[in-house]
Amino acid sequence: MDFKRDILPLKDIIFRTALRITMNREESEDIVQDILLKLWQQRDELETVSNLEAFALTSARNLAIDRISKHEQKNISLVEETHDREDVWQMSAHDCMERDERQSNIASAIATLPEKQRTVLQLRDIEGKAYKEIAEIIGITESDVKVNLFRARGFLKEKLNFLKRDK
């Protein structure tokens, strides 16, 4: 097993998974480092792992949940990095404000989802994982993955439609 080829490319998805659970950028970066260190230390035993990505994401998910319960952190909103933003120089002030409000509403709605629904939503809709992979990562059945995804999407749709009507 080659660390640079097989394990290092997983760092971004590990980070995104940890960020969706902890809702804290610094904590998520620490989790990525801890998971990569753990994988490095276990590199000789990883030959027996059939799905390395699922193993890494399961480890990241468990560590993120452990850290939340230890620190009893409150969910905070995601802070958007400037390199992730559209070209704001070509947008009107009104368009920028609408986009920022829409993103804030989406992030707030996602943050209110139960952890399992939030994780399933991220793995399926953002990471593009298959139901089987998600079930393996989280440790639930494929049916439960579908139910959690359905409920999460329904909640978001209802919440965002409510916010739209409220204006």
Tell me, what's the pLDDT at 38?
92
Phi, psi dihedrals of residue 141, rounded to the nearest 5° = -80, 165
With pLDDT > 70 as the criterion, what percentage of the chain qualifies?
A: 84
Domains of the chain: 3-71 (1.10.1740), 91-166 (1.10.10.10)
In the predicted model, is pLDDT for residue 75 greater than 50? no
pLDDT mean over 4-29: 90
pTM of the model: 0.56
Quick one: average pLDDT of 24-41?
A: 92
pLDDT tens-place string over residues 136-167: 988 899 999 999 999 999 998 888 887 666 55
DSSP string, 115-162: HHHHHHHIIIIIS---HHHHHHHHTS-HHHHHHHHHHHHHHHHHHHHH
